[in-house]
Structure 1
């Protein structure tokens, strides 16, 4: 697996191949075609990357300015089933990307579908804090957890 800077074309290449849990989460959050939301997220992101396996886009991820909290970033990732093919790699590359996101946004915050257990476990393993309780979110008021990560800033 290689991770590289991405473009909207990489999001287009991933359309129609989202993991079922990602598809369900995007639908629950927005009530819109998840393939269209994937491209919109890529277009709106300040920083954008993709993970490729055998030269095929397996995931697209990035960070966008928060529409809810000024100065915060909304990290996101959507992927195909192949993204979980090598768990060791899947846990290694985000640790290089998260500091880059924090360079732009000291606080990273978003929501994850409470049904998306694999993503919740992965977010916790990547150092994100998870809210204790769910909140109703999206057009169907489905239960979502808020997750966040703050960059530690030392006062001088």
Structure 2
């Protein structure tokens, strides 16, 4: 059974336990991407991502953390930096299908804050690119020497012009 937990509702000790489990079990492609971009240990990258995010969730499969995602403000008004990291379990067929059934509602919630969601992805990270395509994201630009390792990355985006930021709603 899949369950999404809003990190605003998770106590600090439980959150650290979830982050520790994720950090120790990240998909190799996510570890490689972290190394290519920032070079920080997985736990540090997860903690920093959570702290920076206005909204973030952990996905549990049978109460085991399998994925974490969220989005943070950027210097561009109306644009949020979306991110996701997970364990190999998120790619198991039954788990992936369960996540897919619910995931668009969470993207819609992020679009309530930012009409444009974007980030950068390592060209080697084929599994994550398939997740992005399924989620309605588009690759818009190649960055041939990106990050601390100077690898090929792509900019990806998802735009929903129907969603206005909450700050502009009455």
**Whole-angstrom CA distance in 2 between matches of 1:136 and 1:92:** 36
Answer yes or no: is 1:5 the counterpart of 2:6.
yes
Q: How many residues get paired?
A: 153
Q: Which runs of 5+ in 2 are unaligned?
A: 164-170
**Whole-angstrom CA distance in 1 between matches of 2:118 and 2:144:** 14
Which residue of structure 2 aligns with residue 144 of structure 1? 153
TM-score (norm: length of structure 1):
0.90
Deviation string for 1:81-117 (max 9, x for gaps)? 1111223113222211001000011110100110001
Determine which of 17, 22, 25 is the counterpart of 1:14.
22
Determine which of 76, 81, 102 is the counterpart of 1:74.
81
Q: Which protein is richer in helix relative to its size? A: 2
Deviation string for 1:118-138 (max 9, x for gaps)? 111110111011125344211
Shift in Å at residue 64 of structure 1? 0.8
The two structures, once aligned, show a CA RMSD in angstroms of 1.7
**Whole-angstrom CA distance in 2 between matches of 1:88 and 1:153:** 27
18-27 vs 88-97, greater mean Cα deviation = 88-97
SS at 2:24 equivalent: coil
Q: Which runs of 5+ in 1 are unaligned?
A: none
Which residues of 2 match residues 85-104 of structure 1 at below 5 A? 85=92, 86=94, 87-104=96-113
SS at 1:48 equivalent: strand
SS at 2:148 equivalent: coil
Determine which of 119, 130, 134 is the counterpart of 1:125.
134
CA gap 1:134/1:121 in 2 versus in 1, 3 angstroms = farther
